[in-house]
Structure 1
């Protein structure tokens, strides 16, 4: 009981390390990220791919209101997993920093530079009393000086560079799939295929164009491009990943059962 009370004391203080060197609130923020639906990034020789699971829980919800891929600048895209409101704050911060860089230096901001500015901002919320950490992780992808880059931001404020990664739900399983199938010399189209196959590997009943979001930033023109439903459907059809009507019905049944049993959905998390 005494040990439990001691841990609770460190839980309440975001700026206080536990005796074993842990910040419990940062660790809890990482758990919030795991509750979000999956987002995947793949860096290829020809550019960067972002793919997200954006399935909605109710047919009454407007699809356009579910945002998991964002354009930060002409050459940079960001995907998120975790608390939606926290993600929105960091996306807005990223866009402001990109615009400030253009006004101040008359040039596009570098992907690494933007990532470190975001993580510096995130890290401040692990040292300030009275504020909690951001319960969201971002994937920042883009092309700078002809080089594709893919970064992850962590709730602790640490930036990581990746060749391919996944954040959100089923991160471990998706990462295993990426590690087994990733090829540094793959084309951008092959990168889209890998991201979709990785997403499908943990999905029940295949994928639908409405439930998937894809964006690419090619090296050739360094322009952020988000695929339309028709373009996404073409990829899914070519890869034989399209969900059938029977699969959709099964998935709906599973979703209804889960909701009835748990009834713990949190609308602030992009589940």
Structure 2
């Protein structure tokens, strides 16, 4: 009935629809939902993050695709959505972490880092001539507050989690984690649960494929003793998947 008005709030990031929705933010969230799955589990003694890589073409070298990236020694992140958008945010987070080390001689608080990332995301939902970031980050690590696990979404919102999933079939995996997660889970149990979450998303076919294709899966972990975020090598990932 009102095509001009409809096009306005459908295209303009600063205009709410009559239902109170920002369509451009919702479209950015859809980009996240279509991205390959990433999961994270917080344990009493550390954090595990795992994710699947998806090649855009059969000829693409999988080694050039990164699902999990280091931010600082004590914190890293997994990506779901547009990798180019994620690169901008991760570059900022890396600089922010190093500035904190140079200024205060200590690692940056993971929550404060997440807040700053989300401040940037939120600012892109309020100004004309830009679009929201079409990416969610799953941020995990260990700081003075212990193990930390957060997700960010395109609106600039963030949440702390005990076990989390972003990307394709994340709702299914979160339901699985809700049933299986225990507050007293240790790092070994968290590793097992994270991999089970990846397998759960694709059913029996995914379970078979994952044991055969370690190159499509990335796993990282950090413990409260070393406080070093380590992305596991292909041989380590292969051994973990074969043991499941």
Structure 2: runs of 5 or more not aligned? none
> Which deviates more, 186-195 or 5-14?
5-14
TM-score by length of 2: 0.94
Q: Report the Cα distance in structure 1 between the residues aligned to 2:51 and 2:168, rounded to whole angstroms.
A: 11
Query: Match of 2:188?
Result: 189
Residue 3 of structure 1: how far off its partner (Å): 4.8
Query: Match of 1:229?
Result: 234
Q: How many corresponding residue pairs?
A: 238
Query: Match of 1:219?
Result: 224
TM-score by length of 1: 0.85
- Three-state SS of the structure 2 residue aligned to 1:183 is coil
Answering whether residue 139 of structure 2 is matched by residue 140 of structure 1, we say: yes
State the Cα deviation string for residues 117-175 of structure 1 (Å, max 9, x = none): 10011111011110000000001111011500100111110111111110000011111
Query: Match of 2:243?
Result: 238
RMSD over aligned CA atoms reads: 1.3
Q: Report the Cα distance in structure 2 between the residues aligned to 1:56 and 1:196, rounded to whole angstroms.
A: 20
Rate the CA distance shift 1:4–1:175 in 2: closer, same or farther, 3 A: farther
Are the aligned partners of 1:55 and 1:212 in contact in 2 as well (CA < 8 Å)?
no
State the Cα deviation string for residues 76-133 of structure 1 (Å, max 9, x = none): 0100100110011111111011111112222110110100010011111011110000
Residue 187 of structure 1: how far off its partner (Å): 1.3
Residue 188 of structure 1: how far off its partner (Å): 0.7
Rate the CA distance shift 1:12–1:210 in 2: closer, same or farther, 3 A: same
Query: Match of 1:103?
Result: 102
Query: Match of 2:35?
Result: 36
Are the aligned partners of 2:13 and 2:128 in contact in 1 as well (CA < 8 Å)?
yes
Q: Report the Cα distance in structure 2 between the residues aligned to 1:17 and 1:223, rounded to whole angstroms.
A: 43
Residue 7 of structure 1: how far off its partner (Å): 2.6
Residue 11 of structure 1: how far off its partner (Å): 1.5
Query: Match of 1:258?
Result: none
Structure 1: runs of 5 or more not aligned? 240-271
Are the aligned partners of 2:173 and 2:197 in contact in 1 as well (CA < 8 Å)?
yes
> Which deviates more, 48-57 or 70-79?
48-57
- Three-state SS of the structure 2 residue aligned to 1:142 is strand
Q: Report the Cα distance in structure 2 between the residues aligned to 1:100 and 1:163, rounded to whole angstroms.
A: 29
Residue 72 of structure 1: how far off its partner (Å): 0.2
Query: Match of 2:159?
Result: 160
Q: Report the Cα distance in structure 2 between the residues aligned to 1:134 and 1:3, rounded to whole angstroms.
A: 29
Rate the CA distance shift 1:159–1:146 in 2: closer, same or farther, 3 A: closer
Q: Report the Cα distance in structure 1 between the residues aligned to 2:65 and 2:3, rounded to whole angstroms.
A: 39
